[in-house]
Amino acid sequence: MNYPSRLIEDAVSEISRLPGIGKKTALRLALHLLKRDEQQTRGLSEALLKMRTQTCYCVKCHNISDEALCNICKNPKRDTSIICVVVDTRDVLAIEATSQFKGLYHVLGGIISPLEGIGPSDLNIDSLLKRIEEAPADERVQEIILALSPTMEGDTTAFYLQKKLKPSEVKVSTIARGIPIGGDLEYADEITLGRSIVSRVAYD
């Protein structure tokens, strides 16, 4: 396309490098910013740069943080005996939103995927093992919950972690697979339905 301004062209090209945003959407966003107050663009531009340059990863759980130790790891009310292993920050936010988990997290930073060339050494696995091993006596880890997606990559990663965690004699569990709340039995796939029968829960 023959853009009317080189500056617009540059902006469109930078915006369309973001995932899921094509040239047409990028142009729509650029024209939107041009119509709005200059302060909005300035705010966006500064927030992006600040986020990229000033955030870091928590030295303990590898979640994104403003300081060396994240808010969750710093919180004395969290249960240090249970660690939930997740792929990234979005999973932490999703689980936090449920208010059902009061332990700590460990963010792997990815998932084992031979197709994308991501192996165990690219993930924060060694630091998880070290965390369990070096925990002080009053903060001993008793359970690791693997909260990974039930995909080929998720299952591979879970299998690898189980093997690695075996020697530590910590209890390892996984989040339940089953029929989602509001889901319809009739439309559930065979594997999910099968698993929901195998992992049935007894009424108290």
- Per CB under 8 A, residues contacting its own copies are 1-8, 10-11, 13-15, 17-20, 25, 27-34, 38, 40-55, 58, 63-66, 70-72, 88-90, 92-93, 96-97
Question: Hey, what amino acid is at 131?
Answer: R
| The Cα angle at residue 64 between residues 20 and 109, in degrees rounded to 5 | 65
Which is nearest to 159 in space by CA: 168, 148, 167? 148
CA–CA dist 149, 147 (Å, integer)? 7
Closer by beta carbon to its own copies, 1 or else 181? 1
Residue 53 backbone phi and psi in degrees, to 5: -90, -25
Q: How far is the CB of 196 from its own copies (least distance, A)?
A: 27
Closest CA to 194 of 185, 184, 181, 203: 185
DSSP secondary structure code for residue 180 in this structure: P
Q: Minimum distance from CB of 109 to its own copies (Å)?
A: 9
Helix (H, G, I), strand (E, B) or coil at 85: strand
Q: Contact, 146 vs 156, CB < 8 A?
A: no
Closer Cβ to its own copies, 51 or 191, answer by number: 51
CB 153 to its own copies: min, Å: 17
Least spacing, CB of residue 121 vs its own copies, in Å = 17
CB of 54 to its own copies, least distance (A): 6
Residue 167 vs 180, nearer CB to its own copies: 180
